[in-house]
Amino acid sequence: MGVTSSGSRVQGASSLLIAQLARSTRRQMEQAIAPTGLRPTELLVLQHLRERGPSAQQTLTELIGIDATNLVAVLNSLEDGGLIDRRRDRADRRRAIIALSPPGELLLADLDRSLLRVDDQILAPLTGAERQTLHALLTKAVKHIGPECPPPSGQGC
């Protein structure tokens, strides 16, 4: 149990603390990416493409946890911005393969720096060692839930 800056006690399930931290972090992330014009779901698609490489559109739908129709709108926006390349799978012409474009890679590199500044703000009270431990623990927890992040009421992860 800890004490917040307002003096109130922090107690209860870790999931509640994570939710509070997530809410604040999401707001700061949205502010950090706002100058790019990207929405969080678009950033998530770009991140998945960078981590996993070119992916089938259906795979992205499953990884991100949004309806295929909504993903098409996201991909159209990213393609219009020159951030992704969309092509047909040579083995199955019905499948679209989505890849991160060079401008998309550059944008992500810029956003990485912005998001590290968000980390610095959110995690300021932690030492370097504590931040490394937290990162390792969060990575372990995220790997445990896997890509199947069942979204509540049709929202993405």
**In a structure prediction context, what are the per-residue pLDDT tens digits for the chain, which is 157 residues long?**
444 555 555 667 888 999 999 999 999 999 999 999 998 889 999 999 999 999 998 889 888 888 888 999 999 999 999 999 999 877 777 788 999 999 999 999 999 999 999 999 999 999 999 999 999 999 898 888 765 444 444 444 4
- In CATH, which of 2.70.70.10, 3.40.50.2300, 3.40.50.2020, 1.10.10.10 is domain 14-121? 1.10.10.10
Global pTM value: 0.72
51: Cβ contacts below 8 Å, ≥ 6 apart: none
- Going 34 to 14 to 17 to 119, the CA torsion angle's sign is negative
Predicted pLDDT of residue 117: 93
> Buried b / exposed e across 86-122, counting CB within 10 Å, b at 16+?
eeeeeeeeeebbbebbeebeebbeebeebbeebbeee
**The two structure tokens encoding residue 40:** 């969080």
Instruction: Give domain limits for the chain.
Output: 14-121
> What is residue 94's predicted lDDT score, i.e. its pLDDT?
78
- State how far the Cα of 54 lies from the Cα of 31, in Å rounded to an integer: 28
Whole-number Cα distances in Å, 56 to 14, 85, 96, 120: 36, 12, 6, 35
Answer whether 29's CB lies under 8 Å from 42's CB. no
In this prediction, residue 4 carries a pLDDT of: 52
